[in-house]
Amino acid sequence: MKVGKFLYKYRSLTPVPLVIVLLIFLKPSLVTIIVGLFVTICGEILRFTSVGYTGLTTRSKNVQSDILVTNGPYGFIRNPIYLGNFFISLGIVISANAFFPWFIVLYIIVFAVQYFFIIRFEEKFLREKFGDRYLQYIKNVPSFFVNLKPYRKGKSVKPNFKWALRSEKVTITVVTLLYIIIGVIYVWQRIHK
């Protein structure tokens, strides 16, 4: 659990080495930028919607939760924010087009290992805090693959998208800056061909 706790605390910083390598070796094309941007936007929509249900606790460095959220995106998947993160970053990797397809494979492996430990760490906390309600929830809702039938038990939480917007400013800013860099490098490479 120590690995999970460490990765949870520093989950915003762990992608930095991969991003640096990606930016050094990127070779974007118009097609990869368009496809990647679409994937990233889909990921951010999922992430934004999920944060609307869980609130600002998603930005903390320590696991915390006052309520067990089981509706909205959480009625279909237990970790919708992480699935959103996966698609946001996958879109950036696709857009950068560095070492295709090997960098995509590397990204998927690194993401899977990191979030395997993070999810196990969070689930231990949630089992201890919510007990049987959480155990019932995990029996019916998959961790990382979308269930087509929503979970309908538990207290329904009303989303607060003002919180989500405030929370997502950092993510949206960082992603926008990365796409600006990718776009500038694309234009630079086209001019200097």
CATH for 182? 1.20.120
Using an 8 Å Cβ cutoff, are 43 and 90 in contact?
yes
Q: What is the domain extent for residue 62?
A: 2-191
pTM of the model: 0.94
pLDDT value at 58 more than 80: no
Instruction: Determine the average pLDDT of the residues in 66-79.
Output: 93
- The pLDDT value recorded for residue 31 is 96
As a whole number of angstroms, the distance between CA 77 and CA 47 comes to 12
Nearest to 193 by CA among 36, 27, 24, 20: 27
Encode pLDDT of 112-153 as tens digits: 999 999 999 999 999 999 999 999 999 999 998 899 999 988
Q: What are the C-alpha distances in Å from 35 to residues 10, 28, 40, 88, 113?
A: 29, 11, 9, 12, 25
As a whole number of angstroms, the distance between CA 139 and CA 95 comes to 37
Domains: count for the chain? 1
pLDDT band for position 65 (50/70/90)? confident
Percent of the chain with pLDDT over 70: 98
